């Protein structure tokens, strides 16, 4: 059982899907949670749901691609919840556009959130951890698409692959400060982001058949994984890609 009592954790994009489930998982283990997201109403709803587990939750409106907003969000978070213990860089956008039709603006929109945002947020977290001198955990949320090609997903796949390099670098560079960095690689998971994909019966059959468990994950299956990755007792666990895909990548 992971014990996160009193830990302060941030989850970007923590107001829905995998991000919200990770926040709930850490809350169930005792962590106080800051939910960072661009939609204030969803942030508040998520915070209320998280507080139902007996912890404190703070909704923070933040565009992770905006440097000033990230810095302000971090100041507010530690001001209200105390020293940072875990930071989950989860916020992301998907673009379902054929490569030949992808504009530079569409490309930049996805990378701004998925890659630039993860950089800005992990840098802010790293600075805080170094200043606190008490160790900590960073979790970078990538995607199984980082391993395979994906039609109509050039920007998304590129951003998620870039996160692997970011996460590995952070693991090496921050180890001297006792800051662990691990990369979560989810497989096919039912979220609002892929509602349109799940309307395609042929696609669902193909992806389900290739998954040894013969199903997609539900977002709540990431609750305990989040608590594990945040646990400060796991000092030697860093630089790891934690693949949660029902066996898809080995089949």
Active-site annotation, residues: 156
Say which DSSP state 99 is in.
G
| DSSP states of 161-222 | HHHHHHHHHHHHHHGGGTEEEEEEEE-SEE-GGGTTGGG-HHHHHHHHHHSTTSSPEEGGGG
Containing 13, the helix (H) or strand (E) segment is none
**Left (φ > 0), alpha (ψ -120 to 50) or beta: where does 222 sit?**
alpha
C-alpha to C-alpha distance for 110 and 197, rounded to whole angstroms: 18
């Amino acid at each position: 059982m992971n014990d996160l009592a009193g830990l302060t954790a941030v989850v970007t994009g923590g107001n829905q899907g995998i991000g919200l489930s990770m926040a709930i998982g850490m809350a169930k283990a005792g962590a106080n949670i800051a939910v960072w997201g661009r939609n204030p109403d969803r942030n508040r709803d998520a915070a209320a749901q998280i507080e139902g587990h007996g912890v404190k939750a703070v909704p923070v409106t933040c565009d992770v691609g905006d440097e000033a907003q990230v810095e302000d969000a971090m100041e507010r978070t530690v001001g209200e919840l105390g020293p940072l213990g875990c930071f989950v860089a989860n916020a992301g956008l998907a673009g379902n556009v054929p490569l030949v039709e992808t504009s530079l603006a569409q490309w930049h929109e996805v990378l701004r959130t998925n890659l630039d945002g993860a950089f800005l947020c992990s840098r802010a977290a790293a600075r805080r951890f170094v200043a606190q001198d008490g160790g900590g955990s960073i979790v970078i949320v990538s995607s199984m698409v980082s391993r395979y090609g994906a039609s109509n997903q050039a920007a998304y796949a590129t951003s998620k692959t870039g996160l692997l390099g970011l996460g590995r670098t952070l693991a090496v560079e921050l180890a001297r400060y006792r800051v662990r960095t691990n990369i979560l690689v989810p497989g096919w998971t039912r979220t609002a982001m892929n509602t349109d994909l799940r309307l395609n019966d042929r696609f669902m059959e193909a992806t389900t058949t290739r998954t040894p468990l013969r199903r997609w994950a539900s977002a709540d299956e990431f609750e305990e994984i989040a608590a594990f990755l945040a646990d400060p007792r796991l000092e030697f666990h860093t630089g790891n890609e934690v693949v949660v895909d029902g066996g898809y990548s080995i089949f």
